[in-house]
Amino acid sequence: MNKFEQYLVDHNVESIGKPPPDLRKEFPEGSMLFDVRYREFPSEAFEVVYLNPETKRLDVKYLPPIVDIWFTRPDYRYTLDGFCVDQYFRNKMRYQHKPDDAYQMPQIEIDHAYRVFCKFSQIPKMIYEHAGDAKMYSDDGSHLVDTKYKEFYESHISDSKRGWFRKTMCQNPWSYKCDFQPDAYFRIRWLHEFGDHCDVSKVTAGFIDIEIDVLDYQPDLGNPMDVRQPITAVTSIYPHDKKVYLDVLEPREKLYGRNEDEQKHFDELLEKQRAEYAWLKSHQEEFKEMIKGHCSSSNCPVHIDADEDNLKYLDGFDVELAFWETSPTISFSGAEARLINNVYDHSNKHRPMFIFAWNAPFDFNYLPNRAQWIGYDPIDIIVPQEFKSKEYKFEKDRTDSFSMKTNRDWFYSSTYSQYLCQERLYAAIRKSQSEEPSYRLDAIGGKVANIHKLTDTKSGTFREFPYTDYIKFILYNIRDVVVQHAIETKVNDAQTFYSRSYAFATAYPKCFQETHIVRNSKDQLFEEFGFVMSNKVIIDQTIDGAFQGAFVADPAKNKPTGLVASGKKYNSIIFGASDLDAAAMYPNTKMAYNKDKKSLLYKCKIDNNLFREHRCCNNSYNQEYTWKDSKKNEHETDMAGPLMNSFKNHNYMSLASNWLNVPLITDIIKSVHKDMMI
């Protein structure tokens, strides 16, 4: 029994419902949690991917989606401490409280609550059964109405599968921990059972890069469905198993030019490509050595120098080549489909935790979408047979402005590995650092690992590269993946990403959204201290809680006045200072820092109409009485800020002159001089 469960036993906390399976019985000793996905089809379950210490590779297990939600004990629901803990509500309720009113509180002591086990889909029903007598909030969140949650549930039962229905039910003031992401319940329970330490040395990553033929057509790289061009080659590297795979599609049978001259040029290019392809296929062992970094042999059609970087990063690796060609029974499209299938066979065989592509929205969309274009079901190719769910989808970030550091493009898949963009992950992890001049693979490879892409080619344009220098083009594809591998070797972003997800009990797509990581990790910590967090706090929309932001300078330019470490002062770690994004903080955190409108004990507020109508004096530089937020909503300027700053900083003369219309000393002296003149 873990410490949390022992605490519940010691404090006689009641639990209702069938508990989830014992994790120590379900997983071998030493298992490492990698990912949890909530699946509704074909049946409701948690899809748990974990590192099996016995097989030393990722395995999948399906468990009932049992979650723990909490409710205030009936004998504690109508006491002042039972429905209200912060000063805002205490003041409000002392004058407005009715015997049957119950407002939300941000957390509750476990001693005053009881636990209910249920499936994730049953949460609204449990709220109905255990807390249906509570009154609902008004639409603006400012007060309670006479409608009760049980009445709302019964009248909207036909909408019980809709998100707004669940969201409304989870506003119930007697319910706690009811609106978390489904996987968070399992992750938090895992942390209670096995602790928050994780061995990041076991984190594994694979790398993939694809090349397509663009000679006669350039696809729209921003359109993932524009996949009409065939895939020329795919390189995959799996460092944890020291394996390199090169999958190559035979040259096209015919290229069609728009005129006679172009047709002649295309025929010449295709002939060159076929010649080098034939050499590569007939000299595979020699080419494997070239891939590892050795120089080309004397009979190679093109001279390739030894490559110190490939020799370093592919030392001890086994290289496997596969050539996919047509036959009397296999069409060109069929050969290409086999190539694509083989790429995913590699990933499902080696099962790294993460599979990276540098510009993943291109590579990881082109492979399955191309398979579908030529008549094959990508699900059959991508999803391993051990998975009951069948999902592979790309969700594009829909925000108006693109930022590499905050981009939320994501791949959801029923696979052992998580497919993701190495470029975007690199930028997101370094969000607080200065913007990179370029996030291109060559730029980051050069900066981080002093390694660069291959660029030497006879071709004047990239579109002709695979035809004029076919062997170099294949090495170019391989080198891109070596650069990816080199970057990860230096920065260990996969380990950082995994540890962030594990320690914060947060799904990978949400790992850079502060609301999720703070809330999940806070709940796990609260439970260890004997508290349970509320559902999302209901905000009173009648109160304008907006405030103006500030201009933030580059922290690299701070003076070194912070904490001392290794004999020198830091410029970024300063005692007593916190770096907070108030617009993105969870409401509980805002309250803790006294930034939330509910937690303000006193706020000096000045009616700006006093200045507009000249009933009060304003001689300061602050002459704008309204401001607009990022959504162009207009708010009243807080004129109390500069006034209080003058008082706090002991600028009494400025305070008197700017706001009380007291003359400046210089004006008084001038006036006295004038009056004394004879």
Interval 302-330: pLDDT, tens: 999 999 999 999 999 999 999 999 999 99
Q: 99: which DSSP letter?
A: T
Alpha helices in 54-134 (DSSP H): 80-83, 87-96, 123-131
Per-residue confidence band for 86, with pLDDT thresholds at 50, 70 and 90: very low
- Return the sign of the alpha-carbon dihedral for residues 80, 83, 84, 90: negative
Tell which residue, 525, 520, 506, has the closest CA to residue 177. Answer: 520
What are the domain boundaries of the chain? 3-195+512-533, 200-499, 604-678
Bridge partners (DSSP) of residue 210 are: 234
Residue 591, helix vs strand vs coil: helix
- pLDDT score recorded for residue 644: 84
pLDDT (average), residues 592-603: 59
User: Which of the four pLDDT bands, split at 50, 70 and 90, describes residue 594?
Assistant: low
Average pLDDT across the chain, whole number: 90
- Asked whether the beta carbons of 237 and 486 are under 8 A apart, the reply is no
Q: Reduced to 3 states, what is the DSSP secondary structure of residue 124? A: helix
83 has a pLDDT exceeding 50: no
Q: How far apart are CA 302 and CA 296, in angstroms?
A: 8
Whether 62 shows a pLDDT value over 90: the answer reads yes
Q: What is the pLDDT of residue 590?
A: 64
Lowest mean pLDDT among 133-137, 416-420, 627-631: 627-631
Residue 80, pLDDT score: 47
Name the nearest CA neighbour of 69 among 100, 115, 6, 128: 115
What are the residues whose beta carbons fall under 8 Å from the beta carbon of 151, sequence distance 6 or more? none
The whole model's pTM is what? 0.84
Report whether 362 contacts 328 (CB < 8 A).
no
Higher pLDDT, 192 or 645: 192
Q: How confident is the model at residue 99 (pLDDT cuts 50, 70, 90)?
A: very low
Which pairs from 118-123 meet CB under 8 Å and 24+ separation? 118/17, 118/66, 118/67, 118/69, 119/44, 119/64, 119/65, 119/66, 119/67, 120/38, 120/44, 120/65, 120/67, 120/182, 120/185, 121/40, 121/44, 121/65, 123/67, 123/69, 123/166, 123/169, 123/170, 123/178
| pLDDT tens-place string over residues 238-267 | 999 999 999 999 999 999 999 999 999 999
Percent of the chain topping pLDDT 70: 90
The gap between the terminal CA atoms of the chain, to the nearest Å, is 97
User: Distance between CA atoms of 377 and 369, rounded to whole angstroms?
Assistant: 9
Q: Mean pLDDT over residues 262-279, rounded?
A: 96
- CATH level 3 topology of 200-499: Nucleotidyltransferase; domain 5 (3.30.420)
